[in-house]
Structure 1
Amino acid sequence: MTIFDSLTEKERLMFGIIVVLTILTLFLGYSYFTEKDRSPTALNKGTIKKETSALETSTPVTDDKTKNPSKVLMVDVKGAVRSPDVYQITNGKRINDVILMAGGFTEDANPNGINLAKLLEDEMVVYVPEIGESGENPAFSQIQEEGGRVNINKADATELQEIPGIGPTKAGAIIRYREEHGPFQSIEDLTNVPGIGEKTLEQMKEKITI
């Protein structure tokens, strides 16, 4: 006769309930700790995916003058610098960079009329006047051509607004057109820019060049 056989019916029932609860507790405990071990891995995968997406969507938009940094520009530096010459410099550099390549300003230099932050362009002339020197600064001869005309292929937003009928919105549209389609091949191509029609073109025709 076993110990179980000696138990009353009520005691057997209680014993069975205890066994079932014990098994259920062990099962739930095993499931809890198994899921707890897995959750950090799932979280890390989700985090990595979000971080990757953030990197993909935060790619900077580059200007047409800087998106090809391997291009080499030829810039003629003249005037009151220590070593006037024609310099080779990579795309995306500014007037200040090429002046430093030329040894910097001389003691007689007057840099007040020069925008040192302006991006360089190929075949550009940078002229540094001396103190007391008068006359137009050739550093901007790429923008302002003969007769005071504005070069629509090289002028920035501020310079484009010197053209009759061109405000900030249209100046921005002109720059976007250049970035997307390249330089204007003719003055008439301006009519392809949103907001500029034949009438607007007639108003500015004598003030622009390419």
Structure 2
Amino acid sequence: MADDPTKQPGTGQTRRRGVALEEAILRAAADELIESGYAGLTMDRVARRAGTNKNAIYRRWPNRLALGIAAYRQLATTVQPPDTGELRGDVLELLRRANRHWSSPLGMVLRDLMAAAGSASEFTAQLPEQSTDSVAASWLTLLGRAVARGEASPEALHPRVATVAVVLLRNEFVMRGVPTAPDEVLVEIVDEVYLPLVRRRGDPGAHGDS
């Protein structure tokens, strides 16, 4: 029987190049993240799983963190913003999704990647949940609908205002030292901070009488 031309002689590895090889490496790295977390992710294990060698990985990703972030992006799914028909319901649902995700196994991988990246913003910006533009886009969508319904002030359509609720939720994680918050905290963020802020934004009377 003729030799398989896709096999590298003596290695048992499949000869792939370009996009095909890159996809195989990312699939292998994603599987390793699911099974062992970021702590168990090594270039050796990914290379074995992908049927390639470490040099092929290092040519594409300079270190374990870069590979881990790229693999996590393969696992993270894009979810459409909720549309409950009213701002309060939309904001609560988006916060509850974030709360569930951060305490999930995939959320644990995300937290480990963020801890490994530290203050290296060039890495954290590649994470879907940490990209300023990506996060703001979902919140601006919710707020834009609310403005159209007359539930919020047009002046509230600013990324920093729109994302206040999720920033407060992240602060809860940091302060409590756990990756989840009680639902009553989410309700409080929405009712006591977010809704009053976006409804009164730009209202001359919101800052008191002169």
Higher strand share: 1
Greater RCO, 1 or 2 (C-alpha within 8 Å, sep 6+): 2
Larger Rg belongs to: 1
Structure 1 and Structure 2 fold alike (TM over 0.5): no
Q: Tell me the TM-score normalized by structure 1.
A: 0.29
Higher helix share: 2
